[in-house]
């Protein structure tokens, strides 16, 4: 079974269970209506005993707006927390059997892994985010999310750190 999930110009290919969580029927029609501003990660994936929460940020687009690093960190934390709070009720209340199945599988995993897939633009004086380092982002996420994942990972198309899925860029933007 191969599952392809596209997020903007990136294609993610999994050989195990994965869904585009923030576009799932349950999240869109039920969960996000609970409160204004609740967010979710892009992909929820399960590979054996590992449950992955994957957030995708592609800042290589020419219209990328600058933002402070703390803005990215807070966004990722909010999406992780929103997703985790949606999984249990999704397991019990989703109308789609595939969504119930993936939530059930995720709740049975032994370890939650948080992965931020980020594509940064080339360094420029105009964009502070173009000068962020992956290690600095990882350190800040690790400080804040260690109660969920003691070692969240930061990856990109050119630095996949041996994860069990592939990512390809669909075009050069």
> Mean pLDDT per 10-residue run, the chain (173 residues)?
93 97 94 90 97 95 85 96 96 94 97 96 83 92 97 93 91 62
Strand bridging mode 17-20 / 10-14: unpaired
For the record, the structure tokens of 49 come out as 């005993």
Query: Looking at residue 167, what is its pLDDT?
Result: 96
Strands (E), the chain: 3-7, 10-14, 17-20, 43-47, 50-58, 111-119, 153-155, 165-169
Using alpha carbons, list the distances in angstroms from residue 171 to 13, 36, 60, 74: 16, 34, 11, 29
Of 151, 157, 143, 26, the residue nearest 74 (C-alpha): 143
Q: What is the pTM of this model?
A: 0.94
For the record, the structure tokens of 63 come out as 């219209």
Measured CA to CA, the distance from residue 7 to residue 116 in angstroms comes to 13
Residue for token pair 């687009």: 61
Edge-first strand order for the sheet with 165-169 is: 3-7, 10-14, 165-169
Measured CA to CA, the distance from residue 165 to residue 156 in angstroms comes to 12
Domain that holds residue 104: 3-169
Query: Looking at residue 48, what is its pLDDT?
Result: 93
Q: How far is CA 144 from the centre of its chain?
A: 16
CB atoms within 10 A of CB 24: 22
Q: Domain tally for the chain?
A: 1
Measured CA to CA, the distance from residue 157 to residue 154 in angstroms comes to 11
Query: Looking at residue 172, what is its pLDDT?
Result: 59
For the record, the structure tokens of 38 come out as 């609740």
């Amino acid at each position: 079974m191969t599952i392809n999930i596209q997020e903007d110009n990136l294609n993610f290919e999994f050989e195990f269970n994965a869904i585009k969580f923030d576009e799932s029927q349950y999240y869109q029609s039920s969960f996000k209506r609970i409160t204004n501003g609740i967010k979710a990660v892009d992909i929820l994936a399960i590979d054996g005993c590992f449950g992955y929460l994957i957030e995708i940020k592609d800042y290589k687009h020419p219209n990328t707006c600058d933002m402070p690093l703390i803005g990215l960190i807070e966004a990722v934390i909010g999406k992780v927390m929103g997703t985790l709070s949606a999984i249990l009720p999704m397991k019990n209340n989703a109308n789609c059997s595939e969504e119930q199945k993936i939530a059930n599988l995720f709740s049975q995993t032994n370890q939650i892994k948080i992965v931020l897939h980020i594509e940064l633009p080339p360094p420029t004086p105009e964009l502070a985010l173009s000068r962020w380092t992956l290690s600095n982002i990882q350190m800040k996420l690790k400080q804040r999310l260690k109660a969920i994942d003691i070692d969240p990972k930061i990856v990109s198309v050119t630095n996949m750190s041996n994860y069990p899925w592939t990512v390809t860029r669909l075009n050069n933007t």
